[in-house]
Structure 1
Amino acid sequence: MIVLDASMAISWLLNEPGFSASELNEVLATNRVTVPAHWPVEIGNALLMAVRRKRIDPGRLAQISAELARLDVAIEPPIEMDELFALIEFSENQGLTLYDAAYVHLSMTSHSTLATLDEAMRQAATRLRISILPI
């Protein structure tokens, strides 16, 4: 199973320079993908910013939506309020934002490979001995 963070998903969806989409396509085709509950909003915000900054045409959003639908991403339910403070503590201990900590924590608790381009998340995963998708 793969925990796919928004940074890698956006690089894949927007075909960003220097990103190897073919390798990720192969991984995504052969593995179940799971993400924390905030992932759709994070993806949506990144796409909105890409449109506003004229990195993509608004007409491309329908194509991107279809690509996302083909992924068959399992979205984890939101954490309960009593879990929030444990995640805050985890975030603080790992030096991550709460959003990034949610990906790392999900990878840790589900024994999944973390797919991220974020260096701080990769370092935290290494410290925690979480498998990381090579980039």
Structure 2
Amino acid sequence: MTRGSVREYAAAVRERYRLASREEKGEILDEFERVTGYHRKAAIRLLTGKRERSTGRRGRPRRYSNLLQPLKVIWEASDRLCSKRLQPFIPEMARVMREQGEQHLDAGLEGQLCQMSAATIDRLLRPYRRLGIVT
């Protein structure tokens, strides 16, 4: 049997396999193995069809994605301080920004901004730093 004919046969049997009970599925698989010569697991994969891939992002959810813009503003206002020196300066700058009405930061976002570690600041600002030696 050619691959094309196996696929055609699988397409013909697929609906019957999907609606079958457990015992009937076993019989359908036995028949499919005899006719095509495929192994049982390969037959199961062909008859169940393709799985849908998840479209969502895997892994841990992002925590600081909505704080990037206020962090960039603070970083630029501080004349691009390094993260170790910028981090203790953030609560004061966030307060000033809130009083001046420059950035809209609610209490939760401001708290997250103040809790952010120096390493996280470095990771978030990495794409915006100039490459090379800075004197």
TM-score, with structure 1 as normaliser = 0.26
Q: Which has the higher helix share?
A: 2
Q: Which has the higher strand share?
A: 1
